[in-house]
Structure 1
Amino acid sequence: MSVGAAVRRVRAYGGQFLLLAVLTLVVTLLISGVPRLVNRLAEQGLRAQLSAEAPARRDISYASGVVTATSQRTAMGAAVERFDALAREMPPQVRSAVDERWYSVETRPARVVGPDLAARNLLVDLGLRSVPDVQGAGTLVEGAWPSETYVPGRPIEVALDVDVAGKLNLRTGSQLRIGDADDKGNLSDAAPMVVAGLFRPADRANGIWDGLPQLLRVTDPVGDGEPSIVVGVVAQSALNKRAAEGWAVQSTWRYRLGVDTIDARHLDRMIDGLQQLQRGKPSDLTVTLGVDVPLRAFAAQIDAARTLLAVIAAGVLATLAGLIVLAASLAIRRRRSEFVLLRARGGAATAGARRSLAEAVLVVPVAAVLGWWLGTLFPGTPDPTTPYAIAATVLVTLALPLATLVVPANAAARRDLVRVRPSARRLTVEVSLLLLAGLAAVLLRRRGLTLGEVDPLLVSVPVLLAVAAAVLALRAYPWPLLLVSRLAAGTRGSVAFLGTARAGRSAVAAPLVVVVLAIGTAAFCAVVAAGVDASRDRAAEQIVPADAVIRGERFAPDTVDELGRLPGVQAVTPVLRVADERLAVDELGTDARVAQTTVLLVDGSGLAAVARESAVDLQVPAALRAARPGPGPLPAIVSPAVAADLTKAGLDDSAFVSVQSQRYEFRVAGTEDGFPLLPANASRFVILPWQALPARNTTPVPTSLLVAGDSLDAEALRHAGDAGQERYQRDGTVTGRERPLGVTVDTRADVRRDLGNGGANGVLAFGFVAGAVGGTVLGLLAIAFTVLAGARARGQVLSRLRTLGLSRRQWRGLLLVELAPLVGVSVLTGALVGAALPLLLNPVLGLSAFTSGVPVRAAFEPGLVAAVLALGAVALGFAVAVEALNNRRLRLGEVLRLGEES
């Protein structure tokens, strides 16, 4: 078997080998390029999420206690030794991600006095901090940096941020004294101090300034009569001297993880390293880190996205595999007479397979290498997918010789009829396939899966279900067509009768399976995407069941009226939330011995009005809406866990809970799995009707305010909320000493936008788009194969009918009638499979990581139904166009003259 002869045959059948080469190229391109693109999107999402966090959230901070020096080592020297030792003790994956690091030693804040402070009657506590390299991070504005040369009797030299000094009325040369203050403000062990210089940070974002308390700001007093807290920079020698004299000092070491140093592919190892670091911390230090929280959230999203991508990839690759099998089968059927002649001349049974193998070796590996190379041009870090590409290339190369062995060599065989009564062998195979698909689906639901891993059962279940659905469709759809054909036989004209008769007898088993796989993958992506989108809407309504929510500490009661007078505000209702309350048996507070519970007070009718004005689909329980003041316990809506505990304790008809120092009796009037303003995973809560509270000496005040309106001004809402907090603190029954924190204003639109942006949403969106587009395109290609599979038989029939007087218009009608059932059944079956898969797979995909914990439910929107109908129409038009082009290429007159196998 010469290579030259194989090359000549490849050239002679160039179209068939080109199709096989293109499919091979697409397979290896996907295997090589898609993981790179996914890794790229994951890295971008992780960088965006980490960048959105405050830089200090990426710090691993160690802090010693406030201690007095007890050894001969200097305070700074001990800090340096510990600085390097802590870095060496970190797990390797954490240590390699550290991008910046700092350490400092500081004294605890002590009272500082001086003429410049007294001029403005300022009460200030000053901490002294020594930070290496601070001079390189700051620019002197006045004076000089504190001298490292220690001179006995010289005042302590301190440098201050220029803005901090301005707020404290301090300047270069200001004379101060520092020491411990008693209750009357008298200093003990006071030491002289002088402001040596003022500096300005070269970059305020530099992490060297992020130690707490911060060097660049004045920490406001926490209450009336309390001092402001300031930190100044001192020389290392001065701090060592003060520590040696017995001043209590504290050392801190901070290691900041870089945004670009954390590998999105190995988040699990990074999170495990952070856990190991916390467990293995030295006993004399406290460790603080916040980066594990965003990393865990992103890891949950990326695991869910990768699991979904595995399902989509299984559908796409299975479709491509089916197309390759179809291409190989069509190619061999066109050359059946060649292989029959080869056997007739004395060739062995495997002679045709060897010839096909030689031809495939000339085409498939070259296409595979080209596809792999094109995939390497995609941006992103590669995955170790080379073995998969090699395996795919080998399988595609063997497809052609295997098809040569499988395709019957009998040239006179009829293959255009479907047996109404299938053989026992085929029936056994089909029943076994159905049972296997059902068993796999049940096992997947019962066993679950580990997110982020390619589970063989997970990727096989969608394919098995699609194939099983295609088998059922093949068994079912000829029967109604035969009935329609019999009815059409009694009508005038031959188009309907002949078209339905041929459609009911077409042999399209393998092509129909491939079409169902492709359309099912596209429909699955569309349905899950719609479900995620709808679940995000529900999550936004769960977090903000209004147009906006103002959250704070406590608001004055008149804040509701003040908000109602703002432009655009249509309705306002108060909400009070108290976390971790203990339930009681009686009004005296006897502990009910059940777990702590979150308490929520809502005005039932007010909440319903705000939700209605905000166009939020919120069904407020009737027990909360209809409650009115009266004797007896309050009707309460509780979570199932609380209801079970109260029933077990015999308190479901009467229990007590404390709200803002007042104890209220309630009874269980209903249960709910969740409620707005509570986290999606909240399992213990009690909701009381605010409007039904009994009169007491003090009335509850809201901690949140729900606002409904059009074109709300978030800044105006924030200002009104802050003013309400200040009025409560000033005029409330119990005047608080601590200054309240500023309120936060969240709009439902902003929350909804945040849920759809950032994190691993880029990977998820890529999976949806790629699956929907790829499935649709491959589905149309599979329909083309389905049409071509029976094109020659249809061409012969049409040739004879044209000679009998069939017009061109009737010919097109006959094509349409014959192909419409096939296309309609394949598209409809694929759409049903795609719509059913989310019902099975959603509980195990973990997509709630993208919806703030709200479970994702399949969403059947009218737009999806319209899309399926449009796809069916496009597919039918495409099928008719392919058939027409093929008939024009075959020239129907020649088909009739040359015979069945022309």
Structure 2
Amino acid sequence: MSVGAAARRVRAYGGQFLLLAALTLVVTLLISGVPRLVNRLAEQGLRAQLNSEPAARRDISYTTGVVTVPANKPATLSARERFDALAAGMPSQVRSAVNERWYNVDAEATRVVGPDLAARNMLVDLGLRAVPDIKEASTLVEGAWPSETYVPDRPIEVVLDVDVAAKLNLRTGSQLRIGRVDVTKELVDDSPLVVVGLFRPVDRTGGIWDGLPSMLRITDPAGDGEPFIATGAVASSTLDKRAAAGWSVRYNWRYRLDVDSIDARKLDQLIDGLQESQRNKPADLSLAQGVDIPLRAFAAQVNAARTLLAVIAAGVLATLAGLIVLAATLATRRRRSEFVLIRARGGGATAGARRSLAESLLVVPVAAALGWWLGTLFPGAPDPSTPYAVAATVLVTLALPLATLAVPTGGAARRDLVRMRPSTRRLTVELFVLGLAVLAAVLLRRRGLTLGEVDPLLVSVPVLLAIAAAVLALRAYPWPLLLVSRLAARTRGSVAFLGTARAGRSAVAAPLVVVVLAIGTAAFCAVVAAGVDASRDRAAEQIVPADAVIRGERFAPDTVDELGRLSGVRAVTRLLYGSDEQLAADELGTSPRLGETAVLLVDGPGLATVARESGLDLPLPDALRTARPEPGPLPAIVAPEVAADLAKAGLDRSAFISVQGQRYEFRVAGSEESFPLLSANTSRFVILPWQALPARNTTPVATSLLVAGDRLDAEALRRAGDQGQLRYQQEGAVTGQERPIGVVVDTRADVRRDLGDGGANGVLAFGFVAGAAGGSVLGLLAIAFTVLAGARARGQVLSRLRTLGLSRRQWRGLLLVELAPLVGVSVLTGALVGAVLPLLLNPVLGLSAFTSGMPVRVAFEPGLVAAVLALGVVALGFAVAVEALNNRRLRLGEVLRLGEES
């Protein structure tokens, strides 16, 4: 069979092959391009998340305690040798991500005295640090760098940051003495020290300055009579000699991971490498690193997003596969007479298939290669998806020959008549599909899955359920149409009767399955997206059950009134949170050995008021809301785990818990899985009603404040909170010495925005948008195939009816009545599948990673009904337009003249 003849047939049937080529191009484009785009979005999310963290969070820091260095080996040389050895000993996946590294040797901070310090009556401890590469990272403002040549009896030469020196009243040439302080506050073992220069960092945010204590800042005194602490840089030779003389030193080696060197596809390997570094660290070193925390959180999100994308991709690719089958079937149906003629002229059973294969080979591989190349233009790192593209190309190439083999070789037949009683073979296949779908769904729920991996069972369940639902719809929808047709037969006019009768006999099994797959994928994305969005709202309400929360150490009692006077504030209530409190069996503190428990004191009526003023429907237990001061134990809401422990120990009616040094008796009045203001991973807690606490000499002090109001000024709330902490410290019975840490103000709006932004939310949003849009577009295309599948038979009927006097208006009405049941059933069945799939798959998708641990609940959404109705109207209008366009192209009069099989 010549290539030229095959090329002429491809040209003759160009429209059919163009459609097949377009579908092939889309398939390989998705296989090639979507993984790249997903990887790109994951990389962007990872960069954004890590860059939002302090840069020092990415440090892997090895430190020693205060050690004495042997006199036979310089301290800085030992540090340098171990610096390289620690880097070489890191797991390869960690070592490859390190792009910056520093080390330093510190002499312990000791007292310095001198005329310039005495002029301002300043008490200062100065640490000496040998920092390699400090000259490249800073600019000398005045003076000189410390000499690397050690000269006995020469004063210790030190350089200081220019701002630090100004605050300490030091300058180039300042003469000091450094030494230890004995019990009488006298300086002993002192040595002369001189400031030989002042420097300014080239980049104050550079990692070389992140060592603790910082060389660029002064540590304020811990209390009255305590010194300021500063750090200056000295030459390595100077520190070596001081260490050899018996000064204690401390080593620090820091390795910083580069954000751009971390591959989002290999986060699990990097996290495992960090764990291995922790396990295999040298016994004499301490290892500190915090980068694994954001990496784990991001990896959980990426794995959940990839799992969801696998479900969406399964639906989209299955829909495309169905469209390819429909395209091949329509193409062979239009050429049925050609293949029958080949057999009648003595051709073999596979003659037509060989002809179709030659034609496919001219079209499909070229379209597949073009689609693959277009996919490579997408930004992002590729995935090993070439085998999938090759397999898809082979299957699409074989689709047309296989469809040709299925062409019946008998005479003409009425294909619009469907027997109400199907054959045994067909019933067996349909029952097998139904049973397989149920079995796969049960196995998936019982077995679970590993997030982030393409699980064959996971990707097959949505497809099987959609096919099963379509089979049930095919079996069910002709019966009500038959009843409607009988009722329409008793009315005047033929449009309703003919339309419902033909709709009930329409043979559209395969097209209907494809429509259900497409619409089900779109509905699944819409339902899950709505569930995640609602769960984020609940998570924000759980974290901040008000308009804003102020978290601090301890607030003066009048802070509530001060906040109430601020502009826009409508209500304020107090809270107290304590972690790792001990349960007791009696007031003496007898331990029942039940483990540590978090305790939360809430003012029930105040919390209810704040939640109501914030527009929240907070389900507050009656035991907390209505509790009053009464003799006996306090009613408490506890976690189920705590309730079980107390019941087992016989303490559920009377137990004690410590709150800021005071023990309060409580009884279990109820249990809750979670409670607002408690993190999702808090599994042990006791909640007490503040308003019902018995009178004591010492009253609890609030550690958090909830605020309800309009247009709240976060900075004003922060200032009021800081002032409240300061008043508590200065006006209490015991005045604190240390400055309180500044308060943290979180608004519910900010928390909700953070939950929806950053991390792998870009990947999740892409999956939802692509799945919903792609499913809707492919659903409309599948409806077009459904219409075209019966277009020839409808054209023949309409041509006859037009010759019998059917008007153009009646013709449009007949089309509408005939197509409406088919389109309506397919869209509604797809929407039902899309609504049921989240209920089945939600427990195994791990979407709580995007909702701060809040379980994602998939519930009925009224908006989905409106969307389905709108999609149904659009689909029906599209179907009628396709039918009208096809009839205009076929010219109904010619259809009637050419006969049944034209």
TM over 0.5: yes
What's the CA shift for 1:151? 1.4
Give the structure 2 partner of residue 495 of structure 1. Answer: 495
* Cross-structure match for 2:431: 431
How far apart are the structure 1 equivalents of 2:443 and 2:368? Answer: 36
Matched, 1:589 2:589: yes
Q: Which residue of 1 aligns with 2:60?
A: 60
> Could you tell me which residue of structure 2 aligns to residue 309 of structure 1?
309
- Deviation digits for residues 297-338 of structure 1, max 9, x if unmatched? 110010001101000000000000000000000000000000
Contact 2:536-2:755 at 8 Å conserved across structures: yes
> Which residues in structure 2 correspond to 1:280-679 (within 5 Å)?
280-679=280-679
**Which shifted more, 215-224 or 198-207?**
215-224
1:336 and 1:411 in contact (8 A); partners too? no
Give secondary structure in 1 for the equivalent of 2:464.
Answer: helix
Is the contact made by 1:534 and 1:859 (CA closer than 8 Å) also made in structure 2? no
Q: Distance in 2 between matches of 1:71 and 1:469?
A: 82
Name the counterpart of 1:785.
Answer: 785
**Aligned-pair CA distance for 1:252:** 0.5
Aligned-residue offset at 1:228: 1.8
Give the C-alpha shift of residue 409 in structure 1.
Answer: 2.2
Instruction: Give 5+ residue unaligned stretches, structure 1.
Output: none
- Cα distance in structure 2, aligned partners of 1:537 and 1:212: 40
Within 5 A, what are the aligned runs for 1:747-766? 747-766=747-766
Deviations 1:538-576 (A, max 9, x none): 111111111111000111111001100011111000000
- Name the amino acid aligned to 1:157: E
The one-letter code matched in structure 1 to 2:674 is G
Of 731-740 and 472-481, deviating more is: 731-740
2:888 equivalent to 1:888: yes
* Residue 71 of structure 1, CA deviation: 4.3
Shift of residue 185, structure 1, vs aligned partner: 2.2
Distance in 2, Cα, partners of 1:480 & 1:123: 94
Kindly state the Cα deviation for residue 417 of structure 1 after the two structures are TM-superposed.
2.2
- 2:706 aligns to what SS in structure 1? strand
Say whether the 8 Å CA contact 1:161–1:198 is kept in structure 2: yes
How many Å apart are 1:767 and its aligned residue? 0.5
Q: Which residue of 1 aligns with 2:689?
A: 689
CA distance, structure 1, for counterparts of residue 417 and residue 554 of structure 2: 79
CA drift of 1:168 comes to: 1.3
Contact 1:94 1:270 survives alignment (8 Å): yes
Partner amino acid for 2:113? V
Q: 8 Å contact 1:76–1:240 — kept in the other structure?
A: yes
Letter in 1 for 2:847: L
Which residue does 2:745 correspond to in 1? 745
Query: 1:847 is matched with which residue?
Result: 847
Q: Secondary structure at the match of 1:108?
A: strand
Question: Does the Cα contact within 8 Å between 1:528 and 1:859 map onto a contact in 2?
Answer: no
Moved more, 62-71 or 653-662: 62-71
Distance in 1 (CA, whole Å) between partners of 2:438 and 2:222 is: 64
User: Do the aligned partners of 2:639 and 2:671 also contact (CA within 8 Å) in 1?
Assistant: yes
Q: Distance in 2 between matches of 1:223 and 1:442?
A: 65
Contact 2:32 2:389 in 1 (8 A): yes
Question: Quick one: distance in 2 between partners of 1:867 and 1:47?
Answer: 36
Which whole-Å CA distance do the structure 2 matches of 1:279 and 1:760 have between them? Answer: 29
Take 1:231 and 1:633, find their aligned partners in 2: how far apart are those partners? 55
What does 1:250-289 align with in structure 2 at a 5 Å threshold?
Answer: 250-289=250-289
2:827 maps to: 827
CA distance in 1 between partners of 2:738 and 2:390 (Å): 69
Q: 1: distance between equivalents of 2:71 and 2:170? A: 36
Q: What SS does the corresponding residue of 1:728 show, helix, strand or coil?
A: helix
Tell me which residue corresponds to 1:50: 50
Aligned AA (1:693): L
Q: Show CA shifts across 1:115-140 (max 9, x none).
A: 22222222211110010000111111
CA offsets, 1:86-106, max 9 Å, x none? 011000111111010000001
The normalised TM-score by structure 2 is 0.99
- Residue 202 of structure 1 corresponds to 202
- The Cα RMSD (Å) is 0.8
* Rounded Cα–Cα distance in structure 1 between residues aligned with 2:122 and 2:797: 103
State the secondary structure of the residue aligned to 1:582: strand
The answer to whether the 8 Å contact 2:304/2:849 transfers is yes
Contact 1:50/1:294, CA 8 A, preserved across alignment:
yes
Q: Does the residue aligned with 1:100 lie in a helix, a strand or coil?
A: strand
The whole-number CA distance in structure 1 between the counterparts of 2:172 and 2:244 is 27
Whether 1:770 and 2:770 are equivalent positions in the alignment is yes
Moved more, 746-755 or 407-416: 407-416
Residue 722 of structure 1 corresponds to: 722
Aligned to 1:710: 710
Structure 1 distance, partners of 2:183, 2:557, is: 37
Displacement of 1:224 after TM fit?
Answer: 2.5
Partners of 1:703 and 1:687 in 2: how far apart?
Answer: 15
Task: Quote the Cα distance in structure 2 between the aligned partners of 1:54 and 1:656.
Answer: 41
Runs of 5+ consecutive residues of structure 2 not aligned to the other structure? none
1:110 corresponding residue in structure 2: 110
Letter in 2 for 1:298: F
Deviation of 1:444 after TM superposition, in Å, equals 0.5
Deviations 1:785-838 (A, max 9, x none): 000000000000000110111000000000000000000000000001001111
**Secondary structure of the structure 1 residue equivalent to 2:225:** coil
Inter-partner Cα distance in structure 2 for 1:633 and 1:665: 5
Instruction: Write the distance in 1 (CA, Å) between the matches of 2:893 and 2:863.
Output: 45
CA contact (8 A) 2:113 2:178 kept: yes
The alpha carbon displacement at 1:392 in A equals 0.4
In 1, distance between residues paired with 2:829 and 2:621? Answer: 41
Code of the residue aligned with 1:445 in structure 2: it is: R
* 1:163-188 deviation line (CA, Å, top 9, x unaligned): 11111111111111111113442111
Q: When the two structures are aligned, how many residues end up with a matched partner?
A: 902
- The corresponding residue for 2:228 is 228
SS of the counterpart of 2:384? coil
For 1:759 and 1:664, locate their aligned partners in 2 and report how far apart those are by CA, in whole Å: 42
Deviations 1:388-435 (A, max 9, x none): 111000000000000011122224122212221111111111111111
TM-score normalized with structure 1 length: 0.99
- How many Å apart are 1:222 and its aligned residue? 2.1
Alignment deviations for residues 704-730 of structure 1 (CA, whole Å, 9 cap, x no partner): 000111111111110111101111111
Equivalent-residue separation in structure 1 for 2:214 and 2:495 (angstroms): 86
**1:584 shift after superposition:** 0.2
Conserved? CA contact 2:71–2:245, under 8 Å: no
Provide the C-alpha distance between the structure 2 equivalents of 1:183 and 1:753, rounded to a whole number of angstroms.
55
Q: Distance in 1 between matches of 2:107 and 2:743?
A: 33
Stretch moving more, 280-289 or 143-152: 143-152
SS at match of 1:224: coil
**Does the Cα contact within 8 Å between 2:585 and 2:655 map onto a contact in 1?**
yes
How much has 1:731 moved relative to structure 2?
1.2
Q: Secondary structure at the match of 2:260?
A: coil
SS in 2 for 1:197: strand
The CA distance in 2 between the partners of 1:105 and 1:250, in whole Å, is: 6
| Rounded Cα–Cα distance in structure 1 between residues aligned with 2:20 and 2:275 | 51
- 1:121-160 aligned at under 5 Å gives the runs 121-160=121-160
Name the aligned partner's letter for residue 351 of structure 2: A
**Residues 727-736 or 812-821, more deviating:** 727-736
Shift of 1:656: 0.1
The alignment-based identity, stated in percent, is: 82
Counterparts of 2:335 and 2:20, CA distance in 1: 15
Alignment of 1:801-880 (within 5 A): 801-880=801-880
**Aligned residue for 2:175?**
175
Displacement after TM superposition at 1:860 (Å) = 2.8
Equivalent-residue separation in structure 2 for 1:325 and 1:443 (angstroms): 29
Task: Provide the C-alpha distance between the structure 2 equivalents of 1:232 and 1:150, rounded to a whole number of angstroms.
Answer: 17
Q: Distance in 1 between matches of 2:187 and 2:724?
A: 39
